[in-house]
Homo-oligomer: A and B are copies of this chain.
Amino acid sequence: MTTTGSPLTSTDKPRRGRPRGAPEASEARQKLIRAGLEHLTEKGYSAVGVDELLKAAGVPKGSFYHHFKSKADFGLTLVTAYNDYFVELLDRAFLDEARAPLDRLRVFTDAAAEGMARHGFRRGCLVGNLGQEMGALPDDFRAALTGVLEGWQTRTTRLLREAQAQGQIGPDLDPEALAETFWIGWEGAVLRAKLELRPEPLHRFAATFFCLIENRSPTITQKAERTQP
């Protein structure tokens, strides 16, 4: 029970053949993911063929199906990769204690707008793209996508709670509801910016959202959601 040890304790295992390089570090795998993100954020899942990705990444088909068991599996991998990248962007903005909470949200929206501008507003949000294609996607995408959005929203809720604790937004507002509204609208803004190839939709929505929560008369509450008359 020493050498043929169970795969559970993976640290001290001198296995036989060529070692699996760092699980995610394979160059081909990374190039495929990069190409996938570029193409899918621009054209969506259904419109992008595997061969197209292979050519873009300069990788043969054998590698693709070695690292991913199907196009769908690859797509799900892209979702987590995109989420990793995005959460980092989000946290960098949201956890910057040097700024006031609401300013951090502004930092994020500005950064995201710059990001879209860098690609000529031709690339949207992978989550939004795939969400709209759900009808044509394998079912596990749904949970993956909603889960990702939940994560973004949770972070935003925390930020807004902090803003509330610091009195930057009224105590009558519901941070969770606001965070949900923010991401609903922001995805819409990204879609629109991509359609019109310009940043105005992003700015418009951000401006309205900030106007909604800043300096509001405390008599207007968001929490009360229309009790029946």
Chain A residues within CB distance 8 Å of chain B:
42-44, 46-48, 122-124, 128-129, 131-136, 142, 145-146, 149, 177-178, 180-181, 183-189, 191-192, 194-197, 201, 204-205, 207-208, 211-212, 215-217, 219-220, 222, 225-226
B133→A47 contact, CB < 8 A? yes
Which A-B residue pairs are the 3 nearest by beta carbons?
Answer: A188-B188, A47-B136, A217-B217
In the assembled complex, the CB of A174 is this many whole angstroms from the nearest CB of chain B, namely 10
Bound Cα distance A184, B44 (Å): 20
Asked if B211 contacts A184 (CB within 8 A), the reply is no
Q: Judging by beta carbons under 8 Å apart, are B191 and A204 in contact? A: no
- In the complex the two chains form, is A184's CB within 8 Å of B192's CB? yes
Report the Cα distance A136→B45, complex, angstroms: 10
A132: B residues at CB distance < 8 A = 44, 124, 128-129, 132-133, 191, 194-195
Q: Which residue of B lies closest to A131 (CB)?
A: B195
Question: Is the CB–CB distance between A222 and B226 below 8 Å?
Answer: no
Chain B nearest CB, measured from A178 CB (Å): 8
Q: Are A135 and B192 in contact (CB under 8 A)?
A: no
Shortest distance from the beta carbon of A177 to any chain B beta carbon, whole Å = 7
23 contacts across the A-B interface (CB closer than 8 A): A46-B47, A122-B135, A124-B132, A128-B132, A131-B192, A132-B133, A132-B191, A132-B194, A142-B197, A145-B195, A146-B196, A181-B204, A184-B185, A184-B188, A184-B192, A184-B201, A184-B204, A185-B188, A186-B188, A187-B192, A188-B189, A215-B219, A217-B217
